[in-house]
Structure 1
Amino acid sequence: MEAYPFTVGLIRVITLEREEDRDCHGRLIMEYFPELRVISRCIPDQPEGVHSPETEALAAPKIVALAKELREEGADMILVSCAADPAVEDIRTLGIPAMGAGECTAAVAGRYGKRVAVLGITPDAPSAFERLLGEGLIDASMPDGIRSTLDLQTPEGRQSAVDKAAWQKAQGAQVIALACTGMATIGLAPVLEKELGLPVIDPVLCEGLFAKLEMLRRDLYR
Protein backbone atom coordinates (compact mmCIF):
# COMPACT_ATOMS: atom_id res chain seq x y z
CA MET A 1 0.00 0.00 0.00
CA GLU A 2 1.30 3.47 -0.84
CA ALA A 3 1.80 6.02 1.93
CA TYR A 4 -1.38 7.81 2.96
CA PRO A 5 -2.46 9.71 6.09
CA PHE A 6 -4.76 6.89 7.22
CA THR A 7 -5.45 3.63 5.43
CA VAL A 8 -8.48 1.51 6.22
CA GLY A 9 -8.68 -2.15 5.29
CA LEU A 10 -12.34 -2.90 4.62
CA ILE A 11 -13.48 -6.52 4.54
CA ARG A 12 -16.61 -7.46 2.60
CA VAL A 13 -18.19 -10.64 3.94
CA ILE A 14 -19.60 -11.63 0.57
CA THR A 15 -17.76 -12.95 -2.47
CA LEU A 16 -17.97 -10.42 -5.31
CA GLU A 17 -16.22 -10.97 -8.61
CA ARG A 18 -16.41 -7.44 -9.98
CA GLU A 19 -13.99 -4.88 -8.55
CA GLU A 20 -16.69 -2.21 -8.93
CA ASP A 21 -19.02 -4.15 -6.62
CA ARG A 22 -16.29 -5.03 -4.13
CA ASP A 23 -15.21 -1.42 -3.74
CA CYS A 24 -18.63 0.24 -3.45
CA HIS A 25 -18.59 0.55 0.36
CA GLY A 26 -15.07 1.93 0.31
CA ARG A 27 -16.00 4.46 -2.35
CA LEU A 28 -18.96 5.63 -0.28
CA ILE A 29 -16.75 6.12 2.77
CA MET A 30 -14.11 8.02 0.79
CA GLU A 31 -16.78 10.23 -0.77
CA TYR A 32 -17.84 11.50 2.66
CA PHE A 33 -14.46 11.15 4.38
CA PRO A 34 -11.88 12.03 1.70
CA GLU A 35 -9.04 12.05 4.22
CA LEU A 36 -9.38 8.25 4.47
CA ARG A 37 -8.00 5.73 2.01
CA VAL A 38 -9.98 2.50 1.88
CA ILE A 39 -8.69 -0.78 0.48
CA SER A 40 -11.46 -3.36 0.07
CA ARG A 41 -11.20 -7.14 0.04
CA CYS A 42 -13.80 -9.93 -0.17
CA ILE A 43 -13.81 -13.26 1.60
CA PRO A 44 -13.81 -16.23 -0.80
CA ASP A 45 -16.48 -18.83 -1.51
CA GLN A 46 -19.47 -17.08 0.09
CA PRO A 47 -21.57 -15.64 -2.76
CA GLU A 48 -24.57 -15.13 -0.44
CA GLY A 49 -22.53 -13.49 2.30
CA VAL A 50 -23.30 -13.76 6.01
CA HIS A 51 -26.95 -14.12 6.97
CA SER A 52 -27.06 -16.84 9.65
CA PRO A 53 -24.96 -18.26 12.51
CA GLU A 54 -23.73 -20.97 10.15
CA THR A 55 -22.56 -18.57 7.45
CA GLU A 56 -20.98 -16.32 10.10
CA ALA A 57 -18.99 -19.23 11.53
CA LEU A 58 -17.85 -20.16 8.03
CA ALA A 59 -16.75 -16.58 7.34
CA ALA A 60 -14.87 -15.89 10.59
CA PRO A 61 -11.48 -17.53 9.79
CA LYS A 62 -11.54 -16.02 6.30
CA ILE A 63 -12.09 -12.56 7.77
CA VAL A 64 -9.20 -12.95 10.21
CA ALA A 65 -6.92 -14.12 7.39
CA LEU A 66 -7.76 -11.04 5.32
CA ALA A 67 -7.23 -8.79 8.34
CA LYS A 68 -3.73 -10.22 8.78
CA GLU A 69 -2.95 -9.58 5.12
CA LEU A 70 -4.20 -6.01 5.33
CA ARG A 71 -2.25 -5.36 8.52
CA GLU A 72 0.93 -6.62 6.89
CA GLU A 73 0.29 -4.36 3.90
CA GLY A 74 0.07 -1.28 6.12
CA ALA A 75 -3.59 -0.82 7.05
CA ASP A 76 -4.04 1.41 10.10
CA MET A 77 -7.47 -0.01 10.92
CA ILE A 78 -9.79 -2.83 9.86
CA LEU A 79 -13.49 -2.40 9.15
CA VAL A 80 -15.63 -5.52 8.84
CA SER A 81 -18.49 -4.32 6.68
CA CYS A 82 -21.18 -6.52 8.21
CA ALA A 83 -23.72 -5.66 10.91
CA ALA A 84 -23.13 -8.97 12.68
CA ASP A 85 -19.53 -7.82 13.40
CA PRO A 86 -18.10 -11.29 12.62
CA ALA A 87 -14.56 -11.93 13.90
CA VAL A 88 -14.06 -8.32 15.04
CA GLU A 89 -12.96 -9.37 18.53
CA ASP A 90 -10.52 -11.87 16.99
CA ILE A 91 -9.03 -9.17 14.78
CA ARG A 92 -8.43 -6.93 17.79
CA THR A 93 -6.15 -9.59 19.26
CA LEU A 94 -3.85 -9.00 16.27
CA GLY A 95 -2.93 -5.58 17.63
CA ILE A 96 -4.79 -3.46 15.10
CA PRO A 97 -7.92 -1.31 15.71
CA ALA A 98 -11.03 -2.96 14.32
CA MET A 99 -14.73 -2.12 14.15
CA GLY A 100 -17.78 -3.81 12.70
CA ALA A 101 -20.71 -2.14 11.00
CA GLY A 102 -23.15 -3.31 13.68
CA GLU A 103 -21.45 -1.70 16.66
CA CYS A 104 -20.82 1.49 14.68
CA THR A 105 -24.47 1.76 13.64
CA ALA A 106 -25.88 0.95 17.07
CA ALA A 107 -23.68 3.57 18.73
CA VAL A 108 -24.89 6.27 16.32
CA ALA A 109 -28.56 5.25 16.31
CA GLY A 110 -28.92 5.76 20.04
CA ARG A 111 -28.10 9.43 19.60
CA TYR A 112 -31.11 10.06 17.35
CA GLY A 113 -33.96 8.74 19.46
CA LYS A 114 -34.94 6.70 22.50
CA ARG A 115 -36.99 4.18 20.49
CA VAL A 116 -34.88 2.48 17.84
CA ALA A 117 -36.08 -0.08 15.31
CA VAL A 118 -33.54 -2.30 13.56
CA LEU A 119 -34.14 -3.32 9.96
CA GLY A 120 -31.90 -6.14 8.75
CA ILE A 121 -31.82 -9.52 7.03
CA THR A 122 -32.06 -11.71 10.14
CA PRO A 123 -35.09 -12.18 12.43
CA ASP A 124 -33.16 -10.92 15.47
CA ALA A 125 -31.02 -7.83 15.94
CA PRO A 126 -27.26 -8.41 15.79
CA SER A 127 -25.75 -8.58 19.26
CA ALA A 128 -24.22 -5.09 19.19
CA PHE A 129 -27.66 -3.51 18.90
CA GLU A 130 -29.00 -5.38 21.91
CA ARG A 131 -25.86 -4.62 23.90
CA LEU A 132 -25.63 -0.91 23.11
CA LEU A 133 -29.30 0.04 22.84
CA GLY A 134 -30.80 -2.06 25.65
CA GLU A 135 -34.43 -1.17 26.28
CA GLY A 136 -34.22 1.46 23.56
CA LEU A 137 -34.38 -1.32 20.97
CA ILE A 138 -38.11 -1.66 20.36
CA ASP A 139 -38.13 -3.90 17.28
CA ALA A 140 -35.89 -5.97 15.05
CA SER A 141 -37.42 -7.07 11.77
CA MET A 142 -36.47 -8.23 8.31
CA PRO A 143 -38.35 -7.32 5.12
CA ASP A 144 -40.76 -9.97 3.93
CA GLY A 145 -39.28 -12.29 1.33
CA ILE A 146 -35.65 -11.34 2.06
CA ARG A 147 -33.21 -14.18 2.68
CA SER A 148 -29.84 -12.58 1.91
CA THR A 149 -28.34 -9.26 0.87
CA LEU A 150 -28.77 -10.20 -2.79
CA ASP A 151 -32.57 -10.12 -2.43
CA LEU A 152 -32.42 -6.44 -1.53
CA GLN A 153 -31.10 -5.58 -4.97
CA THR A 154 -34.40 -6.36 -6.70
CA PRO A 155 -37.25 -3.83 -7.00
CA GLU A 156 -39.40 -6.19 -4.95
CA GLY A 157 -36.77 -6.43 -2.24
CA ARG A 158 -36.38 -2.67 -2.00
CA GLN A 159 -40.15 -2.17 -1.74
CA SER A 160 -40.39 -4.85 0.92
CA ALA A 161 -37.78 -2.98 2.96
CA VAL A 162 -39.73 0.27 2.62
CA ASP A 163 -42.94 -1.46 3.71
CA LYS A 164 -41.31 -3.02 6.77
CA ALA A 165 -39.75 0.28 7.84
CA ALA A 166 -43.14 1.97 7.55
CA TRP A 167 -44.58 -0.72 9.81
CA GLN A 168 -41.79 -0.07 12.33
CA LYS A 169 -42.63 3.62 12.33
CA ALA A 170 -46.24 2.72 13.06
CA GLN A 171 -45.03 0.74 16.08
CA GLY A 172 -43.49 3.90 17.52
CA ALA A 173 -39.94 3.89 16.18
CA GLN A 174 -38.22 7.28 16.36
CA VAL A 175 -35.21 6.14 14.34
CA ILE A 176 -34.51 3.26 11.96
CA ALA A 177 -31.09 1.59 12.15
CA LEU A 178 -30.12 -0.46 9.09
CA ALA A 179 -28.52 -3.73 10.17
CA CYS A 180 -27.34 -4.85 6.75
CA THR A 181 -24.58 -3.15 4.81
CA GLY A 182 -26.25 -4.30 1.61
CA MET A 183 -28.90 -1.69 2.37
CA ALA A 184 -26.18 0.93 2.00
CA THR A 185 -25.18 -0.62 -1.33
CA ILE A 186 -28.65 0.10 -2.72
CA GLY A 187 -28.89 3.56 -1.12
CA LEU A 188 -31.83 2.63 1.07
CA ALA A 189 -31.32 5.15 3.90
CA PRO A 190 -32.20 8.33 1.96
CA VAL A 191 -35.17 6.55 0.35
CA LEU A 192 -36.57 5.62 3.77
CA GLU A 193 -35.91 9.05 5.24
CA LYS A 194 -37.90 10.64 2.43
CA GLU A 195 -40.73 8.12 2.76
CA LEU A 196 -40.96 8.09 6.56
CA GLY A 197 -39.67 11.42 7.79
CA LEU A 198 -37.48 9.65 10.38
CA PRO A 199 -33.71 9.50 10.82
CA VAL A 200 -32.39 6.38 9.10
CA ILE A 201 -28.87 5.31 10.07
CA ASP A 202 -26.67 4.01 7.24
CA PRO A 203 -24.18 1.36 8.44
CA VAL A 204 -21.44 2.10 5.92
CA LEU A 205 -21.39 5.82 6.70
CA CYS A 206 -21.21 4.90 10.39
CA GLU A 207 -18.15 2.77 9.62
CA GLY A 208 -16.56 5.76 7.95
CA LEU A 209 -17.38 7.96 10.93
CA PHE A 210 -15.63 5.62 13.34
CA ALA A 211 -12.64 5.28 11.02
CA LYS A 212 -12.35 9.08 11.02
CA LEU A 213 -12.49 9.08 14.83
CA GLU A 214 -9.74 6.47 14.98
CA MET A 215 -7.61 8.58 12.66
CA LEU A 216 -8.10 11.62 14.90
CA ARG A 217 -7.36 9.60 18.04
CA ARG A 218 -4.15 8.30 16.53
CA ASP A 219 -3.06 11.79 15.47
CA LEU A 220 -3.93 13.29 18.85
CA TYR A 221 -1.78 10.85 20.82
CA ARG A 222 1.01 10.38 18.29
Structure 2
Amino acid sequence: MLGVIRVFTTADDAIVAAHGQLIASLFGLETRSYCIPDQPLGIYDAASHQQAVPKIVAAAKKAAEDGAKAVFISCAADPGVQECRQVLSIPVIGAGSAAAGIGLAMGPRVGVLNLTGSTPPAIAGLLGKHLAAEAAPQGVRNTTDLLNQAGMSAAIEAANILARSADVIVLACTGYSTIGLAKVLRSIVGVPIVDAVEAGGTVAFYCLARRMA
Protein backbone atom coordinates (compact mmCIF):
# COMPACT_ATOMS: atom_id res chain seq x y z
CA MET A 1 0.00 0.00 0.00
CA LEU A 2 1.16 3.53 -0.83
CA GLY A 3 0.44 6.25 1.72
CA VAL A 4 -0.34 9.56 0.00
CA ILE A 5 0.14 12.69 2.11
CA ARG A 6 -1.81 15.82 1.11
CA VAL A 7 -0.26 18.95 2.62
CA PHE A 8 -3.43 20.85 3.47
CA THR A 9 -6.55 20.43 5.59
CA THR A 10 -9.99 19.52 4.27
CA ALA A 11 -12.97 17.50 5.44
CA ASP A 12 -13.79 16.51 1.85
CA ASP A 13 -12.67 12.89 1.52
CA ALA A 14 -12.93 13.01 -2.27
CA ILE A 15 -10.46 15.89 -2.47
CA VAL A 16 -8.07 14.17 -0.07
CA ALA A 17 -8.19 10.96 -2.10
CA ALA A 18 -7.91 12.54 -5.57
CA HIS A 19 -4.16 12.14 -6.07
CA GLY A 20 -4.12 8.64 -4.62
CA GLN A 21 -6.94 7.67 -6.97
CA LEU A 22 -4.99 9.08 -9.93
CA ILE A 23 -1.98 6.94 -9.00
CA ALA A 24 -4.19 3.88 -8.44
CA SER A 25 -5.83 4.29 -11.84
CA LEU A 26 -2.51 4.63 -13.67
CA PHE A 27 -0.40 2.05 -11.86
CA GLY A 28 -2.81 -0.33 -10.16
CA LEU A 29 -1.39 0.46 -6.73
CA GLU A 30 -3.42 0.33 -3.54
CA THR A 31 -3.34 3.80 -1.98
CA ARG A 32 -4.55 5.40 1.23
CA SER A 33 -4.61 9.17 1.55
CA TYR A 34 -4.00 11.42 4.55
CA CYS A 35 -4.16 15.19 5.06
CA ILE A 36 -2.47 17.30 7.70
CA PRO A 37 -4.46 19.22 10.36
CA ASP A 38 -5.02 22.95 10.86
CA GLN A 39 -3.68 24.17 7.51
CA PRO A 40 -6.68 24.81 5.24
CA LEU A 41 -4.54 26.98 2.95
CA GLY A 42 -1.79 24.38 2.77
CA ILE A 43 1.79 25.50 2.20
CA TYR A 44 2.20 28.95 0.68
CA ASP A 45 5.26 30.54 2.36
CA ALA A 46 8.27 29.72 4.55
CA ALA A 47 6.27 29.88 7.79
CA SER A 48 3.51 27.55 6.61
CA HIS A 49 6.15 25.20 5.22
CA GLN A 50 7.87 25.03 8.61
CA GLN A 51 4.55 24.50 10.40
CA ALA A 52 3.62 21.68 8.05
CA VAL A 53 6.76 19.57 8.37
CA PRO A 54 6.06 17.93 11.77
CA LYS A 55 2.46 17.32 10.68
CA ILE A 56 3.66 15.64 7.50
CA VAL A 57 6.04 13.47 9.52
CA ALA A 58 3.17 12.48 11.83
CA ALA A 59 0.95 11.62 8.86
CA ALA A 60 3.73 9.58 7.26
CA LYS A 61 4.26 7.66 10.51
CA LYS A 62 0.52 6.95 10.64
CA ALA A 63 0.62 5.67 7.07
CA ALA A 64 3.50 3.34 7.95
CA GLU A 65 1.61 2.12 11.03
CA ASP A 66 -1.39 1.43 8.77
CA GLY A 67 0.76 -0.81 6.59
CA ALA A 68 2.12 1.52 3.91
CA LYS A 69 5.19 0.14 2.15
CA ALA A 70 6.05 3.57 0.74
CA VAL A 71 4.93 7.15 1.31
CA PHE A 72 4.32 9.83 -1.33
CA ILE A 73 4.26 13.49 -0.25
CA SER A 74 2.09 15.18 -2.85
CA CYS A 75 3.67 18.62 -2.99
CA ALA A 76 6.26 19.83 -5.50
CA ALA A 77 8.24 21.59 -2.76
CA ASP A 78 8.94 18.18 -1.13
CA PRO A 79 8.14 19.42 2.40
CA GLY A 80 9.12 16.96 5.10
CA VAL A 81 10.68 14.45 2.72
CA GLN A 82 14.10 14.47 4.37
CA GLU A 83 12.59 14.52 7.86
CA CYS A 84 10.37 11.53 7.06
CA ARG A 85 13.31 9.60 5.64
CA GLN A 86 15.14 10.08 8.92
CA VAL A 87 12.42 8.34 10.94
CA LEU A 88 10.93 5.79 8.51
CA SER A 89 12.47 2.64 7.07
CA ILE A 90 10.25 2.66 3.97
CA PRO A 91 10.76 4.74 0.79
CA VAL A 92 9.60 8.36 1.03
CA ILE A 93 8.91 10.00 -2.33
CA GLY A 94 8.54 13.73 -2.96
CA ALA A 95 6.49 14.96 -5.92
CA GLY A 96 9.04 17.63 -6.84
CA SER A 97 12.15 15.46 -6.88
CA ALA A 98 10.26 12.64 -8.63
CA ALA A 99 9.14 15.01 -11.38
CA ALA A 100 12.62 16.51 -11.73
CA GLY A 101 14.19 13.06 -11.99
CA ILE A 102 11.80 11.93 -14.70
CA GLY A 103 12.27 15.23 -16.51
CA LEU A 104 16.03 14.66 -16.56
CA ALA A 105 15.50 11.13 -17.85
CA MET A 106 13.52 12.52 -20.80
CA GLY A 107 15.85 15.28 -21.96
CA PRO A 108 18.84 17.47 -21.04
CA ARG A 109 16.94 20.77 -21.25
CA VAL A 110 14.10 20.86 -18.73
CA GLY A 111 11.53 23.63 -18.60
CA VAL A 112 9.54 24.12 -15.40
CA LEU A 113 5.99 25.45 -15.30
CA ASN A 114 5.43 26.87 -11.83
CA LEU A 115 2.11 28.06 -10.48
CA THR A 116 3.57 31.33 -9.20
CA GLY A 117 7.07 32.57 -8.46
CA SER A 118 10.27 30.66 -9.02
CA THR A 119 11.01 26.94 -9.22
CA PRO A 120 10.93 25.09 -5.86
CA PRO A 121 14.44 24.25 -4.58
CA ALA A 122 13.53 20.55 -4.50
CA ILE A 123 13.25 20.71 -8.29
CA ALA A 124 15.82 23.39 -9.14
CA GLY A 125 18.49 21.75 -6.98
CA LEU A 126 18.18 18.43 -8.79
CA LEU A 127 17.99 19.93 -12.26
CA GLY A 128 20.98 22.22 -11.77
CA LYS A 129 22.37 23.30 -15.14
CA HIS A 130 19.63 21.31 -16.88
CA LEU A 131 16.99 23.84 -15.76
CA ALA A 132 16.69 25.47 -19.16
CA ALA A 133 13.74 27.77 -18.50
CA GLU A 134 11.02 28.49 -15.97
CA ALA A 135 7.70 30.27 -16.24
CA ALA A 136 4.34 30.74 -14.55
CA PRO A 137 0.94 31.62 -16.03
CA GLN A 138 0.37 35.37 -15.97
CA GLY A 139 -2.45 36.49 -13.70
CA VAL A 140 -2.71 33.13 -11.93
CA ARG A 141 -2.53 33.14 -8.12
CA ASN A 142 -3.79 29.64 -7.35
CA THR A 143 -5.13 26.56 -9.14
CA THR A 144 -8.69 27.90 -8.90
CA ASP A 145 -7.69 30.62 -11.36
CA LEU A 146 -6.92 27.88 -13.89
CA LEU A 147 -10.53 26.72 -13.90
CA ASN A 148 -11.59 29.65 -16.08
CA GLN A 149 -10.67 30.13 -19.72
CA ALA A 150 -8.32 33.05 -19.04
CA GLY A 151 -6.27 31.06 -16.54
CA MET A 152 -6.07 27.96 -18.72
CA SER A 153 -5.06 30.09 -21.72
CA ALA A 154 -2.31 31.68 -19.62
CA ALA A 155 -0.99 28.24 -18.64
CA ILE A 156 -0.99 27.08 -22.26
CA GLU A 157 0.81 30.25 -23.36
CA ALA A 158 3.47 29.82 -20.65
CA ALA A 159 3.98 26.17 -21.62
CA ASN A 160 4.34 27.07 -25.29
CA ILE A 161 7.01 29.61 -24.38
CA LEU A 162 8.89 27.00 -22.34
CA ALA A 163 8.71 24.52 -25.22
CA ARG A 164 10.84 26.84 -27.37
CA SER A 165 13.90 26.20 -25.20
CA ALA A 166 13.14 22.90 -23.45
CA ASP A 167 13.06 19.23 -24.42
CA VAL A 168 10.53 18.43 -21.70
CA ILE A 169 8.31 20.43 -19.33
CA VAL A 170 7.87 19.61 -15.63
CA LEU A 171 4.68 20.82 -13.95
CA ALA A 172 5.91 22.15 -10.60
CA CYS A 173 2.61 22.14 -8.74
CA THR A 174 0.51 19.13 -7.77
CA GLY A 175 -2.56 21.34 -8.07
CA TYR A 176 -2.02 21.04 -11.82
CA SER A 177 -2.68 17.32 -11.39
CA THR A 178 -6.00 18.02 -9.68
CA ILE A 179 -7.29 20.00 -12.66
CA GLY A 180 -5.82 17.68 -15.31
CA LEU A 181 -3.55 20.29 -16.89
CA ALA A 182 -1.06 17.72 -18.22
CA LYS A 183 -3.71 16.12 -20.43
CA VAL A 184 -4.62 19.50 -21.89
CA LEU A 185 -1.01 20.48 -22.56
CA ARG A 186 -0.12 17.12 -24.10
CA SER A 187 -2.68 17.74 -26.82
CA ILE A 188 -1.27 21.19 -27.60
CA VAL A 189 2.40 21.55 -26.66
CA GLY A 190 5.03 19.86 -28.79
CA VAL A 191 7.24 18.46 -26.01
CA PRO A 192 6.62 15.82 -23.30
CA ILE A 193 4.84 16.98 -20.13
CA VAL A 194 5.75 15.56 -16.70
CA ASP A 195 2.92 15.65 -14.17
CA ALA A 196 4.26 15.66 -10.59
CA VAL A 197 1.68 13.24 -9.17
CA GLU A 198 2.11 10.85 -12.09
CA ALA A 199 5.88 11.09 -11.55
CA GLY A 200 5.47 10.20 -7.88
CA GLY A 201 3.32 7.25 -8.86
CA THR A 202 5.97 6.09 -11.32
CA VAL A 203 8.64 6.08 -8.61
CA ALA A 204 6.25 4.45 -6.13
CA PHE A 205 5.46 1.68 -8.61
CA TYR A 206 9.18 1.00 -9.03
CA CYS A 207 9.78 1.02 -5.26
CA LEU A 208 6.86 -1.26 -4.46
CA ALA A 209 7.56 -3.64 -7.36
CA ARG A 210 11.12 -4.09 -6.10
CA ARG A 211 9.86 -4.83 -2.58
CA MET A 212 7.59 -7.54 -3.98
CA ALA A 213 10.27 -9.06 -6.23
Q: Structure 1-normalised TM-score?
A: 0.89
8 Å contact kept, 1:51–1:148: no
TM superposition shift of 1:32: 0.9
TM superposition shift of 1:53: 2.1
1:25-64 alignment, distance < 5 Å = 25-34=19-28, 36-64=29-57
Question: Structure 1 pair 87/19, CA: closer, same or farther in 2 (3 Å)?
Answer: same
1:70 pairs with 2:79: no
Aligned length: 212
1:196 pairs with 2:202: no
Structure 1: 5+ residue stretches without partners: 1-6
Q: Secondary structure at the match of 2:188?
A: helix
Matched residues, percent identical? 42
Determine which of 165, 169, 178 is the counterpart of 1:185: 178
RMSD: 1.5
Question: Which stretch shows the higher mean deviation, 99-108 or 189-198?
Answer: 189-198
TM superposition shift of 1:174: 1.7
Q: Secondary structure at the match of 2:31?
A: strand
Q: Which amino acid aligns with 1:180?
A: C
Spell out, residue by residue over 1:48-93, the C-alpha distance to the aligned partner (whole angstroms, 9 max, x if none).
Answer: 2223222211211111111111111111111100000000111111
Question: Which stretch shows the higher mean deviation, 76-85 or 117-126?
Answer: 117-126
8 Å contact kept, 2:163–2:190: no
Question: Structure 1 pair 17/160, CA: closer, same or farther in 2 (3 Å)?
Answer: farther
TM superposition shift of 1:181: 0.6
Structure 2: 5+ residue stretches without partners: none
Question: Which stretch shows the higher mean deviation, 8-17 or 125-134?
Answer: 125-134
Q: Secondary structure at the match of 1:207?
A: helix
Aligned position for 1:156: 150
Q: Structure 2-normalised TM-score?
A: 0.93
